[in-house]
Amino acid sequence: MSDTDQRTANATESCDVVVVGAGISGLYAVHRLRSLGLSVICFERGAGVGGTWFWNRYPGARCDVPSMFYSYSFDADLEQEWEWSERFPAQPELLRYLNHVADRFDLRRDIRLETSVTGGTWDEAAGRWLVTTDRGERVSAQHLVAASGNLSKPNRPDFEGLDDFAGVWHHTAAWPEGGVDLAGKRVAVIGTGSTGVQIVPQLAQQAAHLTVLQRTANHAASAMNRPLDAQDQAAVKRRYREFRQASRESAFGIALEMTPGEPWETGPRYPSVFDFSEDEARAIMEERWAFGGGMALQNAFADIMVDLKANEVVAGFVRDKIDEIVEDPETAELLYPSGHPFGSKRLCVEMGYYETFNRENVSLVDVRKTPIERITRDGVRLRDGREIELDVIVFATGFDAITGALLRLELTGRDGLTLREKWSDGPRTYLGLMTSGFPNLFTVTGPNSPSVLSNMMTSIEQHVEWIADTIADLRERGVATLEATPEAEEIWTEHCTAVVAGTVLPLANSWWLGKNIPGKPTVFMPYAGGVGVYRRQCDTVRANGYEGFAVDGEVVPLAGEEGSAVAIAKDALALA
Ligand code: NA7
């Protein structure tokens, strides 16, 4: 009998914590929980560990946060020993790193691959979660940690006729392991978000002809990627502790402004673009463009994200860059982002994207003006009757983000309430960590936490540490259940909406708002208050005896305005 058959034949297994997902969050959760003496079973849908970096193997897949900061900080030896080869790490290197971590900390023995969670039900009488899988496993656990990712449920729009297509199609988030042979092929990419911007230059080099089907042109900054030499690495490694601490206290989970003159330093964040003459402002933006990476440009001036006039200055700069790079003026104009402010959709980071449109074998089609009518046997038909003949269609159409992977777990909390029902008007959480009616369920980088507005590594570590340390703390005190109160959840959810309201962030049809998925409620899902502020809020909640939670059914009142988590946020925002 195989291992799996054996497990399936077994009756309900038992452990302290079930972790869902073995990506960056799940791997660290397994490690941290185990090191606190808890027993863990981790289920992973993929055939390997790595989450995002396991699935997104499309050509050009790369992280746009610098490698030396997009890495775990929990182990000083690990961060000293691992060598990063590039400033912005490519998917194969990230996957190697995460596999190294799994081996180094002996995580695999508690991870069950190719196993999807099909349901989780809170058993009121037992005070435990019963988790089921597609392999027929049933596991009873006191705590359930959803480390299922923010961008892990792909979105493939339901185009009519896809079944008729005689060629092949792939979604970028399920790219075949062995790659796709595109030599001599007519290829189309649908989607021009971060993924589209990364894959287009690569496919253009391989395909006979590449058609880019663009609905919304996004803003992009130059990557200026480069190999990291020993000196670059040593400079960071010497001061890693200091940088990590600064990252934890920062707004975006990365120490952007430290140590002027060093190669990873972006330069200061000036309060306003209007404190400078046009030429001075332009010189600053040129510097940031040449420095590379999205954060350098986006953080050049603090008012970019809160003042539409300031925002337009940077948007104009990006249009000028497009003009400089793209030879055909009509194509350049089509590539101008329009209809949404700079930064109101996730800023893309480009490596040769704009330049790709100077190639003879690449064409750009505006599918906002002439939408895709259907997919046919031979390709894509547009509403104006035009037919684009194709051998391969690539969907770079994104994800049912943030809530998609959580709802797919089909969780049922107290009194038979499902998470789908509870969040039917949008997610509601306390601190993005827990939701009322679902005791002992923790979400890593859940909705209403900084998550995707930050360096995910920093946010993931903070959440995993808060969750694991809380579980261990409760155990030590003999506490069986922790649950967010509806009151705290209400205040937190409203606070999240209030924080983002004064910014340009909600002013686009973005996946942050759920607007990319038909029928999904429109709610700005990440918390925009900043990583450092948020960390203090979480720490304060714990220091105040888990204020806003019911601890074994006993409500711990919110500490009141002064000293409460929400008050810290308000103070911090007033200072910003
Ligand atoms: P995104 O950013 O959601 O981009 C998806 C793209 O696909 C975007 O350009 C969409 O246009 C386009 N899209 C989606 N549906 C359609 C249809 N039906 N027709 C035409 N075009 C469509 O996903 P990514 O994978 O690029 O990036 C996700 C995140 O991963 C990224 O932000 C980083 O954080 C990492 P739209 O803009 O909706 O008009």
* Ligand 1: residue whose CA is nearest its atom 12: 191
Nearest to 373 by CA among 384, 364, 362: 384
Nearest to 319 by CA among 185, 170, 218, 424: 218
CA 150 to ligand 1 centroid distance, Å: 14
Q: How far apart are CA 383 and CA 185, in angstroms?
A: 24
CA 172 to ligand 1 centroid distance, Å: 11
**pLDDT tens string 424-478:** 999 999 999 999 999 999 999 999 999 999 999 999 999 999 999 999 999 999 9
Q: For the stretch 249-259, what's the b/e string if a residue is b when 16 or more beta carbons lie within 10 angstroms of its beta carbon?
A: bbbbbbbbebe
Say whether 302 sits in a helix, a strand or coil.
Answer: helix
Ligand 1 atom nearest the C-alpha of 172 is 25
DSSP state of 518: T
Ligand 1 atom nearest the C-alpha of 397 is 7
- pLDDT exceeding 90 applies to what percent of the chain? 90
Q: Which residue has the tokens 């107290």?
A: 414
CA 237 to ligand 1 centroid distance, Å: 36
Mutate to test the pocket of ligand 1, among 213, 348, 374, 516 (most ligand atoms within 8 A of CB): 516
**pLDDT tens string 110-130:** 999 999 999 999 999 999 999
Ligand 1 atom nearest the C-alpha of 215 is 39
* Ligand 1: residue whose CA is nearest its atom 29: 194
Nearest to 26 by CA among 134, 150, 122: 150
* 436, 122 contact by CB (below 8 A): no
Mean pLDDT of 337-344: 97
**pLDDT tens string 394-409:** 999 999 999 999 999 9
pLDDT band at 559 (very low <50, low <70, confident <90, very high): confident
pLDDT over 70 (residue 575)? no
CA 40 to ligand 1 centroid distance, Å: 35
* Ligand 1: residue whose CA is nearest its atom 30: 194
From edge to edge, which strands make up the β-sheet containing 168-171? 168-171, 392-395, 186-190, 209-214, 362-366
Mean pLDDT of 531-555: 96
Provide the whole-model pTM: 0.96
**pLDDT at res. 380:** 98
Say whether 387 sits in a helix, a strand or coil.
Answer: strand
CA 346 to ligand 1 centroid distance, Å: 10
Mutate to test the pocket of ligand 1, among 169, 175, 194, 454 (most ligand atoms within 8 A of CB): 194
* 492, 431 contact by CB (below 8 A): yes
Q: Which helix (H) or strand (E) holds 13?
A: strand 13-20
Mean pLDDT of 42-69: 97
* 447, 427 contact by CB (below 8 A): yes
pLDDT band at 555 (very low <50, low <70, confident <90, very high): very high
* 521, 515 contact by CB (below 8 A): no
pLDDT band at 255 (very low <50, low <70, confident <90, very high): confident
* Ligand 1: residue whose CA is nearest its atom 4: 193
pLDDT over 60 (residue 173)? yes
344: amino acid identity, one letter: S
Mean pLDDT of 132-156: 98
- Comparing 210-214, 229-233, 419-423, which segment has the lowest mean pLDDT? 229-233
Q: Which protein residues touch ligand 1 with a CB less than 6 Å away?
A: 151, 157, 190-196, 215-216, 346, 367, 372, 396-399, 452, 509, 511, 516
Residues in a beta bridge with 549: 484
CA 395 to ligand 1 centroid distance, Å: 9
Say whether 528 sits in a helix, a strand or coil.
Answer: coil
CA 5 to ligand 1 centroid distance, Å: 40
Mutate to test the pocket of ligand 1, among 397, 457, 513 (most ligand atoms within 8 A of CB): 397
Q: How far apart are CA 258 and CA 249, in angstroms?
A: 12
CA 98 to ligand 1 centroid distance, Å: 26
CA 171 to ligand 1 centroid distance, Å: 12
pLDDT over 80 (residue 262)? no
Mean pLDDT of 529-536: 94
Q: What are the tokens at 125?
A: 């009488």
Angle at 359 between CA 318 and CA 85, to 5 degrees: 70
Mean pLDDT of 80-109: 97
Mean pLDDT of 90-113: 98
